[in-house]
Structure 1
Amino acid sequence: MAKLDEIAELLTEEINGFEKSIGRLERVHENLRNLPLKPDTTEINALLKKCGNNQRRMVEEQLRLMQRILHKVERSIMLPSWAIKFLWGLLVSVLLVLGFSVFQLSRLSKKEEAAFGKGRDSTMGHFERFFDESPQVKELYLKWREENGKK
């Protein structure tokens, strides 16, 4: 029985402590109800509105950029990489051939002069040998030249 009395006494003390805690909570609750708190959300609303405007502006700018990108993509031409490499190779080849042709054309007058001089020397050598081998023909030629030179 002594144990039951002891347990009953402990329970009574705990209940008294619990009642005191409830009393304190009720007083704190009443104090909180009587406090004149009025929540002011104007600053929060202003910040939210500013963030919303910034976000709207960003979305509009992104839409405009996306439309520009889509327009460029629609106008673009898809070529395989081998075709682009082939075109670059062709362009380089054309430029090399064109450059070589210009170089050869610039040397053409020198080649013509050299060929003309070589041909003239060869022809003069041939005629000199011919005239040396046949003096009668040389005399006839000189006579003909004098007659044509006077006219």
Structure 2
Amino acid sequence: MAKLDEIAELLTEEIKEFENSVSRLEEMKAFLMTYKIKPDTKDIDFVLRRYNEDQKKVIENQYKLMDNVVYYIKKSITFPIWAIKLFWGLLVIIFLVFGFSVYKVSRISDIKLEAYGQGEEKAVGHFRAFFEASPEASELYQKWLEPQSKK
């Protein structure tokens, strides 16, 4: 019987502890039901602000690098400016000389005709002077000019 009394005592103690645990759970349940949870985003805001600042710094560095690249691209000209100007000047001179040459070549036939006319005038003038100086040669020339068919 003593054993039964011990077991009964242990059971009553366990039941009392269980009741105490249940009452504490009910208190906690009541507390948790009335407890208002406020979301705390301070840590997330801090992380996002820091990330935003880091991104701004990265973007500024990229702009600086891009400015440097554009600056060096603008400065890196393959040919110096004076060489380009000299090239264009020579090109203009070549076109002028070429145009003048074409003009002169196209006038060659006119020059030939003019030279032929001058040569003809000189030859006729020379023959006139010769015939005036020697009338016998003029008479022989006039006979020679007559048609051969009269003979």
TM-score (norm 1): 0.44
Greater Rg by CA: 2
Q: Calculate the TM-score normalised by the size of structure 2.
A: 0.44
